[in-house]
Amino acid sequence: MYEFAADGTALRRLEVCDFPRHLVLSRDGATLHVTCSGISSMVSYRLTDGTRVEVAATGRNPRSMARTGDGRFLAVANYDGRSVTWIDRDRRERSTLEPRDSGRIVGVAVHSAGGVPRIYATSWDTRELIAFGP
């Protein structure tokens, strides 16, 4: 990852994982969460110095990612894994949701209504929208 000044001058280069795919900032903007296709993981980096602060395994070939408004949970679409990984950052836990008969999952969004998250995903092969209830 390169950081540039407004005039285009290179300020610094931060090493990140192999084949970074999608980026989501933490709620406070201090941490950058990156899906990494090369290692089937989500990796978080502290933006002040580029230090890796978290690694969570995902399904194969993670693509899109979304976070809940409070920043506690991340949902990751796993293209080749045909699944969604749900990461609880507070508890350092993760689970994988595997919808039956779905194709490769490419897009993901989350919505928390009354503190209860709901996950939406798109299937590339079956051209479907998949919703995971609470």
The pTM of the full predicted model, rounded to 2 decimals, is 0.89
Residue 45 lies in domain: 13-132
Within a domain: residue 5? no
Kindly report the CATH number assigned to the domain that includes residue 106: 2.130.10.10
| Averaged pLDDT for residues 102-125 | 87
- C-alpha distances out from residue 43 to 61, 112, 116, 119, Å: 13, 23, 25, 20
**From CA 127, how far away is CA 102, in angstroms rounded?**
9
Q: Could you tell me if residue 2 is inside a domain?
A: no
Structural domain count of the chain:
1
Position 73 in a domain: yes
User: Could you report the per-residue pLDDT of 69-92, keeping only the tens digit for each?
Assistant: 888 999 999 999 899 999 998 898
Q: Is 117 within a domain?
A: yes
In a domain, 28, yes or no: yes
